[in-house]
Structure 1
Amino acid sequence: MNNQDNLVEGIVVKAYGGYFYVHDGVSTRECTLRGRLRYLRQQVMVGDRVLMAPGQDRGGIVQEALPRRSALLRPAVANVDQAVIVFSLRDPEPNPGLLERFLITAALNGITPVICFNKVDLTKEDQVELVTRYRENYNVVVTSAKTGAGLSFLRETLNGKISVFAGPSGVGKSTLLNSIIPGLKQKTGEVSARLKSGKHTTRHIELILLADGGFVADTPGFSSMDLPDIKPEDLAGLFPGIGDYQTNCYFTGCLHYKEPGCSIKEAVEEGNISKGRYLQYLEFLEQLMDRRRH
């Protein structure tokens, strides 16, 4: 899109080696930053909408970064509509605590989460409950890049949106993208037999244009994520399916911890709230309270 100053609006699809690759709806240009923006380089992210001055030989200069509607810091992507949070059901084993951190981070940034449980072909019986636990409150896709299960539904979920694939190393993010995007050849790695964790095969963030509209970003995997700095009293509201019960607690400001007359604890005892998710809530609550004490 052109504006009256002959600048072209586009989206940053990759930032690498000091260059910013901007897609203008037709093609992608290799751009540098305008002088005054060079000192703010960390503020120009993949996913940013920018105004650029086209140059010769598919080059250009980014003149201005436009306001964002959302931003993630890890992975660092702007203007994301949804986060496809990928965890494998086996090899490596799923980590519910890390998954919940992803979900909380997405909620705090106003980004819709989609949980993708991959490697369903390796599923064990005791992992079925994990899928059921999250299906009650989130959009959940169960896939297998090996057998093709769930791939058509996952592909439809991406259409017309800017999506980011996030999750630990070795869960199959790049393999899934290779399976649903014809011609894509993202590097993939094997899961370590000794450590039961994956190798980091994606080295930088890049938005990939989809044939049916929208973009998707593969991101470097990681095995840990800090709990965001939030107030303990706000935590329950970030747990869909748990926070729904907190309005009936006896005490105003109930943390659903050791207080009597807690409607959330009653819902757990009655089987209306997953005990596993409640225990995860308590673990996070104790971490947040410990932060306050120190």
Structure 2
Amino acid sequence: MIISDKLYGKVKVEKVIEELILSKPVQRLKGIHQGGASYLVNEKWNVTRYDHSIGVMLLIKKLGGSIEEQIAGLLHDVSHTAFSHVVDFVLDHQNEDYHEVIYESVIKNSDIPTILEKYNYRYEDMLLDDSKWTLLEQSAPELCADRVDYTLRDMYEYGHISMEEVRTFLSNLIVMDGKMYLQNVDIAEWFVRTYYKEVIDFFLDPLNIYGYDMLAKVLKLSIDKEVITLKDFLEDDENLLNKIKSSNDKELQGLLSQLNHHVKVREDSTNYDIHLKKKIRLIDPSVFNGQELVKSSILSENVREMSKEAFEKASKGMYVKVIQS
């Protein structure tokens, strides 16, 4: 199979990867939007978990990661529920980790173990401990394939960075001891700036916050009214939404009608309708200066200032005034 990806181009992948891509759990991710409720209020915010999962796998491959780590990358988000992290607000998971809680169960109850066994892999060895996959996952504030791909993918797709900038950044990635780092502080500053465009300007965009808040209310109420159950979250966005719509519950229909592409909101910390905080995400990639790894914040006052500002904004959360719903 040859994969064609917007960020990484055309890449030939191994047969086991092909079978996993074509499996039901991975195909389901085509219907799971990365931004949760975002596409309901802005049709352009439509990157999917499938796009991202393919991208993470390809980035690991590009950086020389093993086939096992590529598989782990492809499957790392396979347990994301409908509307991604919105479920964390429904269930009050402040660490936004519900998909991690159910990960093993989702894997075990799918055809993934059978596919892996066909190629002499055991899912228990590959998928239940991501600490061994150091390209795929690193604790913040370092870089990892997951963090890098969703940042580049969203920001490129939504017009905030160019393909030339993406290529320049990728060409400056290096791998040492199985982990990714950068080669100069200028590119580190660029990525830090881009990352905060993602996790502050996009994640905390007032319209995005409105979508999250309103959809979480709809989903909570749908559970309370026994229109849906947690099991239904293992379907995709549209199936879950259609189940709620088909209930013909007038209260739910009224709330759903307020999730549309004509909503108008603004940030307003004094006269607000919604206040929402999301998980605080900071970045401080290490740079190899030819002799040692140094945190970019040590080398750059710009990085320090950007991270300080991002922390303050994320800690405060977003206050939103609804103008038109």
From the two aligned structures, give the one with the greater strand fraction. 1
Q: Same fold (TM over 0.5)?
A: no
Q: Greater Rg, structure 1 or structure 2?
A: 1
Relative to total residues, which structure has the larger helix share, 1 or 2? Answer: 2
